[in-house]
Structure 1
Amino acid sequence: MSVQFAPRCTALIVASLFATAPMAVHAQSNSATTQAATTKKAATTSESSGVVLSDIQVNGLQRSDPASVFNAIPVKVGQRFNSDKGQEIIKVLFATGLYEDVNLDLNGNVLVITLAERPVISDLSITGMKQFERKQILSTLKANGFAQGYAYDPALLERVKNELQATYAEAGLVNAKIDADVKPEGNKQVSVAIKIEEGKFTKVKRININGNEKVSDRAIRSAMETDKNGIFSWYTKDSRFTPEKLSADLENVRGLYYDRGYMDFNFTRVETPPSADGKGIDINIDVTEGVQYRVSSISFSGNLKEIPSKDIEKIVKYPKNALYSRTKISEIVNKVTRRFSQEGYALAKVEVQPVPNASANTIDVTIAIDPQERVYVRRINVVGNSRTKDEVIRREVRQMETAIYNDSNVQLSRDRIDRLGFFSEVAVDVTPVDGVNSQVDVTYRVVEIPTGTLKLGLGYSSTDKLGITGSISENNILGTGNSLGVDIDTSKSNRNLTISTSNPYFTKDGVSQNASLYYRTYDASNIDLSDVKYTTYGFDLVHGIPVSEKHRIYFGLNPERNKTELDRKTSPPSYVAYIDKYNTNSFTTVGLTTGWSYDTRDSTFAPTRGIYQRLNFELAPVGTLKYYKASYQYQQFIPLSKHLTFAFNTQFDYGAGFGGSKGDYPFFKNMYLGGLGSVRGYESGSLGPVDEKGNHVGGSKRILLNTEFQFPFPGMSKNRGVRLFTFADAAGLWSDSFKTNACDFSKISLSGCGGLRYSYGVGLSWNSPIGPLKFSYALPINKKDGDKIERFQFQIGTSF
């Protein structure tokens, strides 16, 4: 905080003044007496050449420790004092914020400092605040020096009021009133009461756009975050008006036109008059579009250093006679900048030099490059982590100290830190080192969030009905980055208890370890699939080895015990035959797993681009049963436009037994099809092999294909948490040596009674306050005997 002081403060050093200090605090002095100079000559001498101080006295302190004054001032007993030193003392003491007045007198060789302490805030309260968390605001004020027990500064209080006013305006409450009542409490103390009248949100009733002939109203409104008040505005809050949001919207509209080649575009009028009903405002925007410009040529100039020109030529490409787009040109500039930063030129200057030809409506674009000097990283700092250990963050950093600066590594490090899940914000600052042109410091700033969770929830699906879930977990134990959790799930057909732990850096090379101990039961009779109950308990241990930043391979061990309970009269005959074959209903398996994954998705919650692949192989060579299972999954998300995404998912699973006459694939490991997550429009688990009694027995071979076109809900284009989608699904399920009189399910067939099932329809996904929620309405195709139709399906408490 900086404070401006009256000029009189710096004129208080008058060497010819004489003063006594009956109650003063003294600095230690070697002289027992002081002499007072009274002549003009002495005054002149003391101001020009200064005097050697024999003592320093401090008057006026009631609360402060005199030692803090002596430590702060830039002069000590035995040192020379003059007017310049006096000005420094005044500045230093005022800068502490503890004093409202500072006076200096020179009594001979004794410096007398007289201070008037600021009042202390004895009580600070905020009333009327509803939109923000009062505790968080008070914590922020304390971090900025305004809190109970701190010195009271009227200028700082005004700043606090202005900041609160701006905070409310940014949230849409532009008419909020912020007042403060300051009451003296005696003994240099004051109480401060901040009173807030939040008022109501200013709603946008209409948006009127005039002068646009080439670009539609709809396209312009889509570029704006602000929207007129609608039936979903209570949720999206996009109809709340703020001047800052409108300014950003105007810039977005300008960018929309610039991306379509209208380089002469401009606003001729922007007004926000009251609406006709007096309950909000209208936004009136007049524009002039101009003509479209096309790019006639694009080239680069400047010093490329050691970077091959062909590398830059590949980047600086633009279709000839294509419309000029500021976004595409900016992407070229960013790519050139990143290419130079990869060679250590972190401060490279890359500028666009467009030369328009108004008569031909064309633009010649030159990318001017000035690489500056190669830069090295002096120091990497981590700021904001009070709980998470430094090493947990630093082990994700791929930019090394003393190494050449590489922007790709710096940004990759930021992303890896963000993916830890311990922080709400992760930012990176690159700061040149003062006085050195070839060095920078890289600082990662994080904002920590609570990583321990206690959850109790209810879920509901159209198949399993009501489900209860509960978990307690800590994802960052003692700031080490390790996790420990207990999960409990129960529904109509399932019971699950799992204790799990993970260590992402089981070794210093980044080998991860995940371990879980679990107990599960599954009763298929409760959802009318078959009269079978499974009880499973086991232990799963998996190690992941990073091959690259995107690739990881896995190795695991999974010993497991399964117990099966059957009704011999109503259960599937194949299950009964399996148990009779082994003469037991309890089976022990020891699974060895290996796998590989590849992930470039931009989000795991609502991805809009990227690829995810997973390959897994499980082998059980020892135990009661011997089998293997291979799985491969491929997902891709392709952005077709700003709001439209094409999503593709396919999965292949193949399982079989081995080991002689008893080498059948375990039926309790069977896979199922139908419902959300597989092929919609059919009941969960109701597709595939069906025995003579009508039991769905599952299978060991599966093909699954899903496609979706995802787009925003009307009026909620800025909210990624609410999405509509159209979809088409296809899937098939087969089982070893399973045949009925009507159909042979032992052979993989894309058609016929054992062939693929299809469906198509529409759906809605919503990240609601009670958890991820998904609805779908599907029309099944190619239905066969035994298939169970369920066109409308939904889930609460589970994600896609």
Structure 2
Amino acid sequence: MTDNRLGKSAMALISALAIATPVSMVAFPAHAFVFNSIKVEGSQRIESATIMSYAKLPRGQNVSPGELNAALQRLQGSGLFETVELVPQGGTLVIRVREFPTINIINFEGNKRIKDEQLAKVVKSQSRHVYSPSQAEADAELISQMYASQGRLAARVDAKIIRREGNRVDLVYEIKEGDVTEIQRIGFVGNRAFSDSRLRNVLQTKQAGILHRFITRDSFAPERTAVDEKLLTDFYRSRGYADFKVQAISPEVARERDAFYITFNIEEGPRYTFNRIDTVSEIPGLDASDFAAQNRVKAGEVYNPTIIDTSIRRMEALALRKGLDFVNIEPRITRNPRSSTLDLTFALTRGPRVFVERIDIEGNTTTLDQVVRREFTSVEGDPFNPREIRNAAERIRALGYFADAQVESRQGTSPDQVIVDVNVEEQPTGSLNFGASYGVSSGVGFNFSLSEQNFLGRGQQVSLSFATGRGTRSSGLTFVEPYLFGRDLKGRFQVWYNTTNRFNSDYDTRTVGALAGLEFPVSENGRLELRYKISKDTLSGVEPIHVNPETGQLVGSSPILYLDQGGYLSSSVGYTYTYDSRIVGLDPLTRYKLAFSQDFAGLGGDIKSVTTALYSGIESNAWREEITLRAEFEAGAIHMLNDMGSRRFDRYSGNSKIRGFEPNGIGPRDLNAPNQDALGGNFFWALRTEAQFPLGLPEEYGISGGLFADVGSVWGLDNTLGAQNIRVDDKMHLRAAVGASLFWTTPIGPLRFNLSKAVKKEDYDKAQNFDLTISTKF
């Protein structure tokens, strides 16, 4: 009788606990049970033997209450059952289970920013599989993390089920996406040399501004903090702060989870300049004097690791030319805190005899191995140079083909062998753009462009463009092979077709042509391009001077333009030498570029001429780098051969050379012709200067101001006999304009608004007081 009462009490207790959530312990009476048989009820898909294997209860032996409790927990912990009951019935134990239902369908509700197909790839729960509450909750967390990666930290995801007949359920993820958790403020602690606004411009992460719906960098992404830390470090150290370090980056979330506040705690340290520079050799028999001549670091210069790296690279190249292997150039820096100077010694030491066994490349599903390999100057079998491997990693990342690129080295098959592992993550490199544009002269226009920076995974560049405006049409195709024949030899091929229809003139033009060029380095900063160009240029629609029968007035163009009508074939060869300090950026504050080019027409065709052009540009940062100063000078001249006169197509118009004037708005002009069309000139020069500075607006708006002043001229004609046989004035008359600019960095590109006034011009010049253009830099 007592045993029966105990059995009923135990059964009631176990049943109650099984219906509730699993617990760690069940209180049983101290009396032991003996079960001669075990019966399973409620199972449909799961075999009884499987259930008993989880229970692990013996038959015909004493079973303690603790063992019953352990069996219950094992069955519940299996994740196979929604409820479990252990019911002792005399000498029989009934295991009564209710299996988890089968998932009928999986639905997502409330999602607008992320499509169902993307969410379905994240969740682990699947249709026609057993429903698991723990897995459904884990899936909800994965979906939340997916939204968090897009900056939506306030997103909430709830997993709910709708029961259907046949022990089936519909699994529904109810999503409340919430707004983007934007970065409301980026602050700095410890900065003295540079303002917060200047440092924020260095970072990849941006604050939220008026364009926050278009700019994705204003949402917090933890993976960008490492990039930002490196950008800050490179910024400071390239400006002399050798001891700079980021002590901490502290992101904080607002209580409502709708905003981020990021604080960079930095330590600038002193600004160093170089003091004593030495080159010593610790290799017996190796003279250091030849290597010292390769040094580009000068005493008194501000510390810049790029200058040191350039000098090391030059010394290593000299060692290779001398046939010296395993020569290590070790820069040794001694700090002088009192004077804030550095003593630098380049020590030539014998490096370890370690070779590159092989270079393994993984992750490049589209890009060919050779595109990555050509960024290494070392190949299999070469001496291992850790510095060169690091530089190769930077070059691979700079290609823009990969979202991430990691380059690491590990020991090879023997201690003197090293394997270089390159792991890359591909990213889209093509773009398809449709857009609209506006220019005061060209009016509203539309453009289309299709470009691919990594064509067929070969690192080739292909672009197709078409643009139209008021009176203008242009289209072109460009193909660039940056490593022709596997060498640093850039091959370029272009074709174009452009027309104008009465564009600020009383004539039409059509140009169709092609260009093929080869560009290669001739020094660290210098490159030379050799090219061949062929084009067919047609000038039409020029009316001779005559009397309009309806008005009785004279109309028409200058006889000089009338004689230029027709189509002419031009075939020319040419070259351009460019020296660009940005190729090896030794000075972070000042950048300059020089270019000299000549084209010789007469290799067939109708035109025989020599065209010469010169360009120089310089840009520098001043006033704690808050102000950017720019100056550009360019000039050009065309000399016709065999007593041939220049045509309108050959001559310079001054377009885009001097701001404040319309296209075709300056230069020689036949004032006796009724329409007074611009004739162009054989020569031009222009000097453009400007200053760009912040306006005190939040930098995340991307708005800054500027002032500019331009001066120049277009002059010179081979034929100066105009209308009524009166000579045209083709002298060099000075033009000048001043103005103010508003720069605005937008998702469609950097825009520039110019307000200008021509302060020096001829009466017949056509001034332009306002212009809206795409902002460009040299």
Q: Aligned to 2:563, which of 578, 582, 586? A: 578
How much has 1:711 moved relative to structure 2?
A: 4.2
Within 5 Å, give how 1:627-666 maps onto structure 2: 627-640=609-622, 641=624, 644-660=627-643, 663-666=644-647
Give the superposition deviation at 1:295. Answer: 7.8
Give the counterpart letter for 1:681 in structure 2: G
TM-aligned CA deviation for residue 635 of structure 1: 3.1
Residues 643-792 of structure 1: matches in 2 within 5 Å?
644-660=627-643, 663-674=644-655, 677-692=656-671, 693=673, 694-711=676-693, 714-717=696-699, 723-737=704-718, 746-747=730-731, 749=732, 754-766=733-745, 768-792=746-770
For residues 377-429 of structure 1, give each alpha carbon's deviation from its aligned partner in whole angstroms, at most 9, with x where no partner exists. 222233332223333443454332221234665466556656666x1435241
Q: Residues 386 and 682 (structure 1 numbering): CA distance in 2 closer, same or farther, change over 3 Å? A: same
Cα 1:395–1:300 change in 2 (3 A) is: closer
The 3-state SS of whatever aligns with 1:668 is coil
* TM-score (ref. length: structure 1): 0.62
Mapped partners of 1:188, 1:608: distance in 2 = 72
| Distance 1:667-1:246 versus aligned 2 partners, 3 A rule | closer
Instruction: Say whether the 8 Å CA contact 1:175–1:198 is kept in structure 2.
Output: yes
**Structure with the greater relative contact order (CA < 8 A, sep ≥ 6): 1 or 2?**
2
Q: Is the 8 A contact 2:592 2:618 kept in 1?
A: yes
2:367 pairs, out of 378, 388, 391, with: 388
The equivalent of 2:469 in structure 1 is 491
Equivalent residue for 2:534? 558
Size of the aligned set, in residue pairs, is 648
Identity of aligned residues (%): 21
Tell me if the contact between 1:554 and 1:596 (Cα under 8 Å) persists in the aligned partners: no
Relative distance call for 1:669 and 1:449 in structure 2 (3 A) is farther
Q: CA deviation at 1:248?
A: 9.9
User: Deviation of residue 655 (structure 1)?
Assistant: 0.7
1:203-214 aligned within 5 A: none
- 1:537 pairs, out of 512, 521, 527, with 512
**Distance change >3 Å, CA 573–CA 376, structure 1 → 2:** same
Q: How does 1:19-418 map to 2 (within 5 A)?
A: 128-129=110-111, 141=122, 168-169=147-148, 172-180=151-159, 196-201=175-180, 215=192, 219-220=195-196, 223=199, 306=283, 308=288, 373=352, 375-406=354-385, 409-410=388-389, 413-414=392-393, 417=396
Q: Which residue of 2 aligns with 1:39?
A: none
Residue deviations 1:741-768 (CA, integer Å, cap 9, x gap) = 9997545x4xxxx1243434223143x3
Tell me how far apart the structure 1 counterparts of residues 689 and 345 of structure 2 sit (CA, whole Å). 41
Distance in 2 (CA, whole Å) between partners of 1:236 and 1:244 is 17
Deviations 1:313-364 (A, max 9, x none): 97999979x9xxxxx59779978998999888899998989898xxx89999
CA distance in 2, matches of 1:633, 1:795: 21
2:460–2:481 contact (8 Å) kept in structure 1: yes
Structure 2 residue runs without a partner (length 5+)? 1-46, 48-78, 81-99, 320-324, 546-554
2:278, 2:292 within 8 Å by CA — same for their partners in 1?
A: no
Secondary structure of 1:575's partner? helix
> Counterpart amino acid of 1:653?
G
Higher mean C-alpha deviation, range 441-450 or range 663-672:
441-450
Task: Provide the rounded CA distance (Å) in 2 between the counterparts of 1:286 and 1:535.
Answer: 57
Aligned residue identity for 1:405 = F
Q: Deviations over 1:643-690 (max 9, x none)?
A: 543333322211121113xx111222222125xx32212222201112
Q: 2:543 aligns with which of 557, 560, 567?
A: 567
Preserved contact between residue 351 and residue 368 of structure 1 (Cα < 8 Å): yes
Deviations 1:565-584 (A, max 9, x none): 311024442435635xxxx7
1:602 and 1:609 in contact (8 A); partners too = no
* Pair 1:539–1:232, CA change in 2 (3 A): closer
Instruction: Give yes or no for the alignment of 1:591 onto 2:572.
Output: yes
Distance of aligned partners of 1:279 and 1:755 in 2 relative to their CA distance in 1, 3 Å threshold: same
Shift of 1:557: 3.5
What is the Cα deviation at residue 463 of structure 1? 0.1
The answer to whether the Cα contact below 8 Å between 2:435 and 2:446 also exists between their aligned partners in 1 is yes
Is the Cα contact below 8 Å between 2:404 and 2:426 reproduced in 1? no
Checking the alignment, whether the CA contact within 8 Å between 1:349 and 1:372 is kept in structure 2 is no
Mean CA deviation greater in 159-168 or 347-356: 347-356
Deviation at residue 794 of structure 1 after TM alignment: 0.5
Three-state SS of the structure 2 residue aligned to 1:566 is coil
Q: Which runs of 5+ in 1 are unaligned?
A: 1-59, 61-98, 101-117, 323-327
Q: Write the distance in 2 (CA, Å) between the matches of 1:624 and 1:254.
A: 58
2:431–2:451 Cα contact (<8 Å) kept:
yes
Q: Residue by residue, what CA displacement relative to the aligned partner does 1:116-146 show, whole Å, maximum 9, x if unpaired?
A: xx9999977665555567766766x59xx99
Give RMSD over aligned pairs: 6.0
Query: 2:419 corresponds to which residue?
Result: 441
**Bigger CA drift: 513-522 or 649-658?**
513-522
Per-residue CA deviation, residues 295-317 of structure 1 (Å, 9 max, x unaligned), is 89999999975495986997999
Moved more, 387-396 or 473-482: 473-482
Report if aligned partners of 2:240, 2:271 keep a CA contact under 8 Å in 1.
no
- 1:19 aligns with none
| 1-structure distance, mates of 2:131, 2:516 | 59
Give the superposition deviation at 1:556. 0.7
Q: State the alpha-carbon separation in 2 of the partners of residues 159 and 346 from structure 1.
A: 56
Distance 1:412 1:533, change over 3 A: farther
Change (3 A) 1:331 1:136: farther
Contact 1:629/1:653, CA 8 A, preserved across alignment: yes
Give the superposition deviation at 1:461: 0.9
CA distance in 2 between counterparts of 1:287 and 1:381 reads 38
> Following the alignment from structure 1 to structure 2, what is the Cα–Cα distance between the partners of residues 255 and 471?
35
Q: Tell me: CA distance 1:481–1:150, structure 2 relative to 1, closer, same or farther (3 Å).
A: farther
Show the counterpart of 2:41: none
Paired with 2:685 and 2:273, the residues of 1 have a C-alpha distance of 50
**Is 1:625 equivalent to 2:625 in the alignment?**
no
Closer, same or farther in 2 for the Cα pair 1:337/1:200, shift >3 Å? farther
Q: Is contact 2:357–2:419 with CA below 8 Å preserved after alignment? A: yes
Find the aligned partners of 2:232 and 2:535 in 1 and give their Cα distance.
60
The whole-number CA distance in structure 2 between the counterparts of 1:126 and 1:772 is 40
**Alpha-carbon distance change, 729 to 159 in structure 1, aligned in 2, over 3 angstroms:** farther
Aligned partner of 1:495: which letter?
Answer: R
Query: Given the superposition, is the C-alpha separation of residues 122 and 354 from structure 1 closer, same or farther in structure 2, using an over 3 Å criterion?
Result: farther
Shift of 1:497: 4.0
Task: Tell me how far apart the structure 1 counterparts of residues 589 and 266 of structure 2 sit (CA, whole Å).
Answer: 34
Change in CA separation of 1:471 and 1:280 when aligned onto 2, cut-off 3 Å: closer
Q: Which moved more, 1:127-136 or 1:614-623?
A: 127-136
Distance in structure 1 (CA, Å) of the matches to 2:154 and 2:207: 19
Distance 1:472 1:786, change over 3 A: same
CA contact 2:741–2:752 (8 Å) conserved in 1? no
